[in-house]
């Protein structure tokens, strides 16, 4: 009997993965542990390995497919073995020149793991108690949009309702509302007059013509390309939209005196290599200051959970990292307890793992405050978007000379732009301003922080 290859689960919050590339083709010989394909979660890229020696008998999903976890994606076995659930169709040998047609049916879902069973939620209906298998993320989204889970059809393992099932219903409702709005607008707004025919003006084909017809043309211009929104980019888009929908965000901007940071950076670069300080960057210094400052302001080191504000006494510091596949935010654990050198090493380790696609799901979860830095790109101020459910995020800008009054003279000193975005549902303007003020003082007096750690 052929052995099924399941889409692996990568963390409890991952509901599906995108198949990036098949490394093996149907009919090829594989060895146990050899990479069959690469898949991408909302966080990183992983390899799916062959469960046994044999032949890759059948690929159930092509590259680019978004497949729920714990779903069969391929079968491995010996030549001529029967694929389970496909009666009357024999598998192919490794040397077969022809391939018989394969009709893909819905694969039998695997038995749910204990962890999956624990994440299943139950809801009540007016007709009595009815158990509904639904993931926590899907339940949260359904409640947010007022959708009854028992009205949904699950496409996850064993009929479990997952996030994309809820999103499908939301999109259908939005399209329906949009169609009604467009029809109402069409009936209430008179048609615009057509443009007169002219040799230099190309009239669109059909009876619509004119300006209205040109607006309805959907032919893309030459030289354009279509980029599918999948994997990491799709998750980034969803989370940014959800962040703006669920948080009342406002941003405070300020300038921090950066002379002390630059002086320490210079000292580190000139220090002996054996000290291990040469690789410390300006961003490392900022992360250190943020972690130490947050110890005094737990209201900024918190989650917004609708009916609860969860404040933390330890700083799980998220650091935004730009990668070829999009923005990732690994977490430096207990950042307030780390020395500057230890924090710098951990930040670099996590960033490198993100860029190389080796980052684990655990390293990308549990952050309580986030720092994102665009200073190296010349940006002085910007408006960072909250990393939900966190209530605050700090944007770090470039260092530029700024005028400062000293007596009756104006002098120019290097200053760094800082942009603090906060959820007004959890933190008012005054406490957020006090945190930002303390941060400015600690940046300009970082020597005192070194003495206290």
Give the domain CATH number at 366.
3.30.559.10
The two three-digit tokens of residue 134, written as one number:
């639904």
> Does residue 434 lie within any of the structural domains?
yes
- The three state secondary structure string of the chain is CCEEEECCCCCCCCCEEEEEEECCCCCCEECCCCEEEEEECCCCEEEEECCCCEEEEEECCCCCCEEECCCEEEEEECCCCECCCCCCCECCCCCCCCCCCCCCCCCCCCCCCHHHHHCCCCEEECCEEECCCECHHHHHHHHHCCCCHHHCCCCCHHHCECHHHHHHHHHHHHHHHHHHHHHHHHHHCCCCCCCCCECCECCCCCCCCHHHHHHHCCCCCCCCCCCCCCHHHHHHHHHHHHHHHHCCEEEEEEEEECHHHHHHHHHHHHCCHHHCCCCCCHHHHHHHHHHHHHCCCCCCCEEECCCCEEECCCCCEEECEEECCEEECCEECCHHHCCHHHHHHHHHHHHHHHHCCCCCCHHHCCCCEEEEECHHHCCCCCCCCCCCCECEEEEEEEEEEEEEEECCEEEEEEEEEEEEEEECCCCCHHHHHHHHHHHHHHHHCHHHHHHHC
Query: Is 92 within the bounds of a domain?
Result: no
Confidence of residue 97 (pLDDT cuts 50, 70, 90): very low
Same domain, 301 and 428: yes
Q: Based on the domain organization, do 311 and 402 belong to the same domain?
A: yes
- Per-residue pLDDT averaged across 75-95, rounded? 62
Q: Does the structure show a pLDDT above 50 at 120?
A: no
Reported confidence tier of residue 132, pLDDT bands at 50, 70, 90: confident
When the pLDDT of each residue in the chain is averaged and rounded to a whole number, the result is: 81
What pLDDT does 114 receive? 43
Residue 162: CB atoms within 10 A of its CB come to 21
Both 46 and 126 in one domain: the answer is no
State the pLDDT at residue 180.
60
C-alpha to C-alpha distance for 376 and 308, rounded to whole angstroms: 37
**For 301-324, what is the mean pLDDT?**
94
Please report which confidence band the pLDDT of residue 441 belongs to, taking 50, 70 and 90 as the band edges.
very high
Check which CATH number belongs to the domain holding 51 and give it.
2.40.50.100
Domain shared by 133 and 19, yes or no: no
**Cα–Cα distance for residue pair 76/59, rounded to 1 Å:** 9
pLDDT(99) > 70: no
What is the DSSP pairing of strand 392-406 with strand 369-373? Answer: parallel
444 in any annotated domain: yes
Q: Which of 167, 188, 209 is the last residue of a domain?
A: 188
Residue 182 lies in a domain: yes
Q: Quick check: is 196 in a domain?
A: no
CATH of residue 178: 4.10.320.10
For residues 115 and 57, membership in a common domain is answered with no
Question: Which residue numbers are catalytic?
Answer: 424, 428
Bridge partner residues of 55 (DSSP): 29, 77
For residues 321 and 421, membership in a common domain is answered with yes
Given a cut of 80, whether residue 427 has pLDDT beyond it is: yes
User: Are residue 321 and residue 433 in the same domain, yes or no?
Assistant: yes
Q: How confident is the model over 228-249, as pLDDT tens digits?
A: 787 777 878 888 988 999 999 9
Q: Of 144, 169, 188, which residue sits at a domain end? A: 188
**Using N-to-C axis directions, what is the helix angle for 340-355 and 282-294, rounded to 10°?**
110
- Banded pLDDT at 215 (limits 50, 70, 90): very low
Peptide bond into 389 cis (omega under 30): yes
Number of domains in the chain: 3
Q: Are 297 and 253 in a shared domain? A: yes
Q: Which of 30-44, 173-187, 295-309, 409-423 has the lowest mean pLDDT?
A: 173-187
With beta carbons less than 8 A apart as the criterion, state whether 171 and 178 touch.
no
Is residue 137 over pLDDT 70? Answer: yes
pLDDT at 160 over 70: yes
In a domain, 62, yes or no: yes
Last residue of a domain, one of 170, 188, 206: 188
Report whether pLDDT(105) > 90. no
pLDDT in tens, 366-403: 999 999 999 999 999 999 999 999 999 999 999 999 99
- Residue ranges making up the domain that contains 410: 249-452
Whether the pLDDT of residue 21 is over 80: the answer is yes
Q: Is the pLDDT of residue 129 over 50?
A: no
How far is residue 291's CA from residue 9's CA, in Å, rounded to a whole number? 32
For the ranges 229-233, 252-256, 433-437, the lowest mean pLDDT is seen at 229-233
pLDDT at residue 109 above 90? no
Edge-to-edge strands, sheet with 317-319: 249-257, 409-423, 392-406, 369-373, 317-319, 331-332
- Does 273 reside within a domain? yes
Query: Residue 193: inside a domain, yes or no?
Result: no
Looking at the structure, tell me whether residues 37 and 128 fall in a common domain: no
Same-domain status, 121 and 256:
no
63 plus 118 within the same structural domain: no
Domain match, 389 and 302 both: yes
Instruction: Identify which of 155, 26, 169 has the alpha carbon closest to the alpha carbon of residue 94.
Output: 26
């Amino acid at each position: 009997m052929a052995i099924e290859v399941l889409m692996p689960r990568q963390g409890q919050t991952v509901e599906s993965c995108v198949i990036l590339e098949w490394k093996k083709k149907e009919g090829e010989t594989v060895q146990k542990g050899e990479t069959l394909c690469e898949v991408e979660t909302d966080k990183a890229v992983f390899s799916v390995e062959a469960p046994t020696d044999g032949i890759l008998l059948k690929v159930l999903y092509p590259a680019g497919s978004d497949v729920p976890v714990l779903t069969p994606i391929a079968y491995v076995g010996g030549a001529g073995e029967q694929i389970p659930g496909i009666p009357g169709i024999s598998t192919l040998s490794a040397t077969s020149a022809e391939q018989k047609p394969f009709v893909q049916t819905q694969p039998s879902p695997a038995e749910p793991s204990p962890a999956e069973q624990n994440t299943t939620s139950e809801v009540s209906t007016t007709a009595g108690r009815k158990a509904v298998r639904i993931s926590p993320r899907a339940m949260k989204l359904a409640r947010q949009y007022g959708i009854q889970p028992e009205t949904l059809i699950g496409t996850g393992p064993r009929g479990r309702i997952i996030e994309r099932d809820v999103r499908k219903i939301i999109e259908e409702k939005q399209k329906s509302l949009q169609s009604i709005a467009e029809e109402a607008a069409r009936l209430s707004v008179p048609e615009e007059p057509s443009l007169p025919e002219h040799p230099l003006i190309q009239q669109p084909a059909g009876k619509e013509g004119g300006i209205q017809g040109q607006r309805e043309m959907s032919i893309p211009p030459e030289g354009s390309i279509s980029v599918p929104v999948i994997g990491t980019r799709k998750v980034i888009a969803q989370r940014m939209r959800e962040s703006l929908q669920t948080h009342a965000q406002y941003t405070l901007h300020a300038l921090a005196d950066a002379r002390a940071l630059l002086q320490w950076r210079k000292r580190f670069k000139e220090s002996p290599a054996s000290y291990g300080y040469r690789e410390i960057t300006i961003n490392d210094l900022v992360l250190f200051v943020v972690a130490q400052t947050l110890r005094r302001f737990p209201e900024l080191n918190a989650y917004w959970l609708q009916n609860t504000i969860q404040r933390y006494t330890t700083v799980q510091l998220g650091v935004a990292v730009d990668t070829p596949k999009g923005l990732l935010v690994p977490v430096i654990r207990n950042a307030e307890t780390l020395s500057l050198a230890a924090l710098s090493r951990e930040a670099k380790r996590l960033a490198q793992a993100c860029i190389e696609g080796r980052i684990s799901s655990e390293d990308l979860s549990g952050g309580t405050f986030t720092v994102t830095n665009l200073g190296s790109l010349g940006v002085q101020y910007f408006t960072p978007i909250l990393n939900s459910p966190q209530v605050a995020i700090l944007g770090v800008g470039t260092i530029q000379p700024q005028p400062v009054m000293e007596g009756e003279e104006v002098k120019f000193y290097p200053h760094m732009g800082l942009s603090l975005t906060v959820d007004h549902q959890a933190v008012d303007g005054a406490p957020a301003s006090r945190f930002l003020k303390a941060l400015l003082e600690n940046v300009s007096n970082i020597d005192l922080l070194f003495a206290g750690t």
